[in-house]
Amino acid sequence: MSDHAATAAPCAPAWRAPGLVLVLGLLAWWALPDQLGLVTRIVTVMLLVLSLDLVVGIAGLPTLGHGALFGVGAYAAGLAALRLHPDPLFGLALGIAAGGLTALLTGAFLLRYQGFTFLMLTVAASQILLSLANTGRAWTGGDDGLSGYTVGPLFGVFEFDLFGRTGALYALAVLVLGYYLARRLVDSPFGLSVRGIHQNRARMAALGTPVFWRLLAVYTAAGALAGAAGAVSAQTNAIVGLDSLSFALSAEILVMLVLGGAGRLHGALIGALVFTLLHHTASSFNPYHWLFVVGAALMAVVLLPPGQAWAWLRGRWGAR
């Protein structure tokens, strides 16, 4: 493992960053009572991009099929509410299990390949899942989507109201817990070894690290987080569409990760926030050309990475 990976040990308690997210989320919930739907959407997307960061930023696995794990979790939670039990925590558990199991089964095959081959196989796997969801209309609703289910009150007390008050707090709680667990995973010896694999796979294998099994474990963990995000989306929106399994979603969340900076976890949250707000704001002005704004922001990040931008700003501020 390189010196950089060895020095990546946490210098702050694992709860500090999730605690900050919790405080900021509660402030948004209190200050934006008319925009709780948007807040819930941002929080859900943050959790999804966070799970992608484990795969791309931490493990160094290029993927364009991660959105499918979100979709699997969403359908699992929706079907649980429709056919089994409306309890939201039960649906959340099934969504996590579905996302993790799908990642485990697909990863056992996909992770035997690397580079461009792995990238294309992730696209193929997501398209297979999309096709299965489209043909299984009796279960998924096909093009019409899965709807007609009702999510029960949280803990039997807090109803999912139309204003989204309970939904926003529920999504925020799942994000904070997921962020905390992801931080603990990344900062653990296991996480440091995965970073080492990202930097130099051959050297880590020569040191005796079980590369395949470490990558499969982190891929499964990321799938579980993506499944949790899908379950929250299904429960707060009361509908699951085929777009939750689409290639477009996988590409969008990858753009979000690039915007925020891969490999830092908090960058995933920042990228999801920036992209979703840009989408919401720019599309309200021009619903046909809002991608121009996102493209310009992405070019700015690529040409001037966030680290260089902050260094430049500090230099300018210090010069004054």
Angstrom distance (rounded) from CA 51 to CA 69: 10
User: To which residue do tokens 């603990």 refer?
Assistant: 184
Q: What is the pLDDT of residue 126?
A: 93
The answer to whether residues 1 and 196 touch, using CB atoms and an 8 Å cutoff, is yes
Separation of alpha carbons 18 and 177, rounded Å? 8
Residue whose token pair is 């493209």: 295
Show the CA angle centred on residue 216, arms to residues 53 and 243, nearest 5°.
55
Residue 30 burial by Cβ neighbours in a 10 Å radius (0-12, 13-18, 19+): exposed
What is the pLDDT at residue 136? Answer: 84
Contacts of 42 (CB under 8 A, 6+ apart): 272, 273, 276, 277
pLDDT tens digit sequence for 208-249: 889 999 999 999 999 999 999 999 999 999 889 998 998 989
- Per-residue confidence (pLDDT) for residue 260, from 0 to 100: 85
DSSP string, 167-231: HHHHHHHHHHHHHHHHHHHHHSHHHHHHHHHHH-HHHHHHTT--HHHHHHHHHHHHHHHHHHHHH
pLDDT (0 to 100) of residue 277: 87
pLDDT at residue 104, rounded to an integer:
97
Rounded to whole angstroms, the Cα distance separating 278 from 282 reads 6
Quick one: pLDDT at residue 147?
87
What residue ranges of the chain have pLDDT lower than 70?
A: 1-12, 285-291, 294, 297-298, 301-320
CA 267 to CA 198: how far, in whole Å? 18
Amino acid 317: pLDDT = 60
What are the φ/ψ torsions at residue 118 (nearest 5 degrees)? -60, -45
Angstrom distance (rounded) from CA 279 to CA 234: 21
> Could you give the 3-state DSSP secondary structure of residue 295?
helix
- pTM of the predicted structure, to 2 decimals: 0.88
- pLDDT for res 90: 96
Q: How many CB atoms lie within 10 A of CB 147?
A: 14
57: which DSSP letter?
I
Query: What is the predicted pLDDT for the residue at 259?
Result: 84
pLDDT for res 6: 41
